[in-house]
Amino acid sequence: MATYIRKDRHLTLTQLKKKKKITNDYLPKISPEDKYSVPDYPRPEIHATHLSHSTDLTGLDGIRSDAGFRDPNDKGLVWFSLTVTPDDLRDAETRTMKIVHPGGVEEEVSVEEVEEGLLTQFASSPAFVSSSRYGSYRLTFDLKDVLDRYSEQFCAGRAPVMRTWKTELYPQEVMYAVLVHRPSDERFSQHPLLEEHEHSICAFRDGAKPHFLWRPQAMSATHSFELVRDDLLRASEVEWPQFYVWDHVVLALVVDDQVQTLSLFHTLKQGRLFISAQTDLLHVLFPPCAAAGVPGSAVLLFELELVELQKGVPDGFMFVWLEDGPEPLFPAMDLNGDKRVPLEEFSEFIKLQVREGKGRLRPGVDQESVIKDMFYNQDGNRDGTIIEDEVQLKDDTVPQRDEF
């Protein structure tokens, strides 16, 4: 539960520390008089291009069946977290960044002063890891895809409105919430628009590659490194790690009682979909994990890419004609004209129709198995051959037959 909430503003850690009503064990560590001061750490400008949604197995099944996201708590909001990829971190190292010294004093450093890969040493908070914090699964989407779909469904193609909603402080976490809603919705007009300025913690930038500008206040929940200067500014491991707060940005999309129809399949069509899952569940769903000795506490990250889209067949069918089938059918199947069609001859006939683009088999299933099932459905007396009297076409009056 949040220990402090400030609506309509995104407060920095220094501003939070100055609030007299706040009692927090970690915020005072940026004070120079505190003997447990947090060592120097970087504060880059990150251009985040992805959002993630965490859920459990029940939620994942709901997303699949709904082909999108709804609010299970009846508050009309769907939550996404700003997600930083390794590419985003590498990109941030090409821009000027700030160094935070004990006491919260910031110093600007140029790209030439920073050792390559520096940020990856400090990016250890939950905002930068691939695993899920709130469930067993985390689904990661392209930011542009999420906003485009929201615009189409809720905003009649117009850009959604973004507002600075609130800052929430937890014992070791600071959450900056951005509210996203349709332009015609006046219920949230009391909240200030999300705008970019010199001291913005986060802001949205539209364009060919939309992204969120984010200046993280604290990249490491546990500070295991400090900054040292040799020829370049680099990370050096400390003897006694310091625990500290960490911060992140979330988007709350107003959907009311609707489903935001952002399907996993749609995302795959746009490129890649990243899914992380705890291994203990995968031991059930994917036994090789257990056989390979992967511990149940581990988290596996899957990157799914749509390699090919295969058109399917209607439910209950194993094969469909893409054009008018031969009339009569049996003589066309009887390739050698002996009035009997064994499995081998039937298989050759079906494969010929597929090769010539005249028919389609059910995709995603072993071709030989499908053809064999089709054959046995036609072989009414189970003597290993089909005769003309046994051939039947799929129709509404023969629901039990699963062929042609």
pLDDT in tens, 183-227: 999 999 999 999 999 889 999 999 888 999 999 989 988 888 988
Question: Confidence band (pLDDT; 50, 70, 90) for 95?
Answer: very high
Question: Confidence band (pLDDT; 50, 70, 90) for 275?
Answer: low
Kindly state the average pLDDT of the residues 27-50. Answer: 81
- The predicted structure's pLDDT at residue 393: 63
pLDDT in tens, 72-93: 887 899 999 999 988 999 999 9
The domains of the chain are located at: 4-305, 319-390
- The predicted structure's pLDDT at residue 313: 79
The position carrying tokens 């769907």 is 78
pLDDT in tens, 301-317: 665 555 666 677 787 78
Please state the CATH superfamily assignment of the domain spanning residues 319-390 in this structure. Answer: EF-hand (1.10.238.10)
- The predicted structure's pLDDT at residue 103: 72
Residue 259 scores a pLDDT above 70:
yes
pLDDT in tens, 159-191: 999 999 999 999 999 999 999 999 999 999 999
In three-state form (DSSP H/G/I as H, E/B as E, the rest C), the secondary structure along the chain is: CCCEEEECCCCCHHHHHCCCCCCCCCHHHHCCCCCCCCCCEEECCEEECEEEEEECHHHHHHHHHHCCECCCCCCCEEEEEEECCHHHHHHHCCCCEEEECCCCCEEEECHHHECCCHHHHHCCCHHHCCCCCCCCEEEEEEHHHHHHHHHHHHCCCCCCEEEEEEEEEECCEEEEEEEEECCCCCCCCCCCECCCCCCCCEEEECCCCCEEEECCCCCCCEEEEEEEECCCEEEEEEEEEEECCEEEEEEEEECCCCCECCCHHHHHHHCEEEEEEEHHHHHHHCCHHHHCCCCCCCEEEEEEECCCCCCCCCCCCCEEECCCCCCCHHHHHCCCCCCCEEHHHHHHHHHHHHHCCCEEECCCCCHHHHHHHHHHHHCCCCCCEECHHHCCCCCCCCCCCCCC
- The predicted structure's pLDDT at residue 155: 94
Calculate what percentage of the chain has a pLDDT beyond 70.
82
Q: What is the mean pLDDT of the chain?
A: 83
